[in-house]
Structure 1
Amino acid sequence: MDKKKILYVEDDETLAFLTADNLEQHFDVVHCNTGKKAFDLFCREDFDLCVCDIMLPEMDGFELATEIRKRNADIPIIFLSAKTMKEDRIKGLRLGADDYLVKPYSIEELILKIEIFLNRSQKYNDKAPKAYTFGHFTFEPENYLLSLPDKEITLTEREAALLKFFLDNPNTVLKREKILTSLWGTDDYFSGRSLDVFISRLRKIFKEETHVRIENIPRVGFKMVIDDY
């Protein structure tokens, strides 16, 4: 079976060598040492996932993720950074990143995160139903496409995964830890904050739809309420 192709962006030569050497045992890894080189390459070749440092020359990781998202709304993006401030993590997630690991990171954890995202993408392609219909929306999980009668919204892979999880469990209270372990592979603090960001994004999409809402269940989790579903 062909290895999945990873775009790895890191300007620290030693760290890049060690990380790429480990990743290449599992994936086809293409390394770039500047954000600009990475984006130019991304525009020319197809990748399954991106792993990006934030503090990069020419174009930093935040700018790179923004440009990648303009061209591809669903490719998974994992940030690797020495920036430990939670504001930086939240900024990265708001820009469309799927995860954020702080240096020094465990190579085993990085590989696990990559495999979770890639396996989930494959499951979508293999098993996802053609469409869900709820309220005034139609959702095609394999295409990350959410449609209204007058417009279409392309979700990120993480948004699509979360929405599909809710639609597979409509009008049901879902514990935070169940959502996190199912979609993130962990239920730590920063994964929880990431979940809150994506819940907020989906709520903005549904704010004009009176028959669909995501409710907070205090100290428990969330429930997606769909009237007459």
Structure 2
Amino acid sequence: MINILVVEDDVKLNYIVCSFLNDNGYHAISCKNGTEAFDRILEEPVNLIVSDIMMPEMDGFEFAAEIRKQDKAIPILFMTARDDMGAKQKGYSLGIDDYMVKPIEMDELLLRVAALLRRANIRNERKLTAGSLVLNEEETTAYLNDVELPLTVKEFNILFKLLSYPNEPLPGPS
């Protein structure tokens, strides 16, 4: 299942977007601000982020910048009322992948999500296999040579995330 983090402080819009994504085969994770989103990311792996810009506590720019420090590859889509070129330039310079201006067309959101996932080479699979290592996301289990590995949920999520992007180089020492 593809996990999509929706970071939107408008409760009604957040609910609509999450419900729409869930109804279309994704698993939407609802967050009202960037701080809450960081807590959720630690709990479960995320494949794509849809974020507002204007939010309390931490705005979308700061959130995207912090995400990019930790993960250079995860697709980020800004969904915002800000339609000025300055906001778009700042967002893209921080490393976002796409930008939608509210009000959004939900079917267009689906098209953009699918395109971002395709470009990121993220497949809607619940099992990952690397040699004799098999990870089952649904059961949160890992098997090496058919023997279950004793991993914590956090360890499993990190391993699953790393194997979800097999062609990405690991960051070297700075």
TM-score (norm. length: structure 1): 0.53
Q: How many Å apart are 1:118 and its aligned residue?
A: 1.2
Aligned letter for 2:92? L
**Percent of counterpart pairs with the same letter?**
40
1:95-118 alpha-carbon deviations (Å, 9 max, x no partner): 010001000111111111111111
After TM superposition, the structure 1 stretch with the greater mean CA deviation from structure 2, 115-124 or 46-55, is 115-124
Which structure features the higher share of helix residues?
Answer: 1
- In the other structure, the counterpart of 1:180 is none
Report if aligned partners of 1:9, 1:38 keep a CA contact under 8 Å in 2: yes
* Higher relative contact order (Cα pairs below 8 Å, separated by 6+ residues): 2
Q: How many residues align?
A: 132
Instruction: Determine helix, strand or coil for the equivalent of 2:86.
Output: helix
Letter in 2 for 1:144: E
**Runs of 4+ displaced beyond 4 Å:** none
* Aligned partner of residue 50 in structure 1, secondary structure: strand
- Which residue of structure 2 aligns with residue 24 of structure 1? 22
| Separation (CA, whole Å) in 2 of partners of 1:144 and 1:122 | 11
Q: Structure 1 residues 44, 123: closer, same or farther in 2, change over 3 A?
A: closer
CA contact (8 A) 1:80 1:100 kept: yes
1:32 CA drift (Å): 0.4
Partner in structure 2 of residue 33 of structure 1:
32
Instruction: Return 5+ residue gaps in structure 2 as ranges.
Output: 124-164
**1:24-80: per-residue Cα shift (whole Å, max 9, x none)?**
112001000111101222233211000000111111111111111111110000001
Other-structure match for 1:6: 4
Larger Rg: 1
8 Å Cα contact 1:6/1:49 also seen in 2: yes
Contact 1:39 1:67 in 2 (8 A): no
Superposed displacement of residue 123, structure 1: 7.1
**Quick one: distance in 2 between partners of 1:35 and 1:56?**
8
In 1, Cα distance between the equivalents of 2:122 and 2:59? 32
Q: Which residue of 1 aligns with 2:46?
A: 47
C-alpha distance in 1, partners of 2:78/2:101? 8
8 Å Cα contact 2:50/2:77 also seen in 1: yes
Q: 1:146–1:152: 8 Å Cα contact kept in structure 2?
A: no
* Rounded Cα–Cα distance in structure 2 between residues aligned with 1:146 and 1:7: 23
| Structure-2 separation of matches of 1:28 and 1:92 | 25
Q: How does 1:14-163 map to 2 (within 5 A)?
A: 14-25=12-23, 26-122=25-121, 142-145=166-169
Give 2:109's aligned amino acid.
Answer: L
- Aligned in 2, Cα 1:58/1:143: closer, same or farther, shift over 3 Å? same
Separation (CA, whole Å) in 2 of partners of 1:8 and 1:47: 10
Instruction: Give the aligned residue type for 1:116.
Output: A
Q: Which amino acid aligns with 2:43?
A: R
Aligned residues: CA RMSD: 2.3
TM-score (norm 2): 0.69
